[in-house]
Structure 1
Amino acid sequence: MQINLYVFFAFIGIAAAARCRIVGPEHGRANCRSCPARGCDITNTIRPGRYRNIDCVFPRGEDIRGDRRWGYNKRRECFISLQRIGDCRRDDIPECRLSIPLPAVDHEWNRIVAEGGNDDDE
Structure 2
Amino acid sequence: MTSPTPPPQAAARARAGEPGLAATVALYALARLGLVAVVALVLTVAGAPLVVALLVALIVALPLSMVLFRGLRGRLDRAIAASTATRSAEREALRAQLRGDADPRPGDGDRVPGSAGSADGETDSDGDRPGQQQ
Classify the TM-score, shorter chain.
Answer: under 0.3
Richer in helix (by share): 2
State the TM-score, normalizing by the size of structure 2: 0.21
Richer in strand (by share): 1
State the TM-score, normalizing by the size of structure 1: 0.23
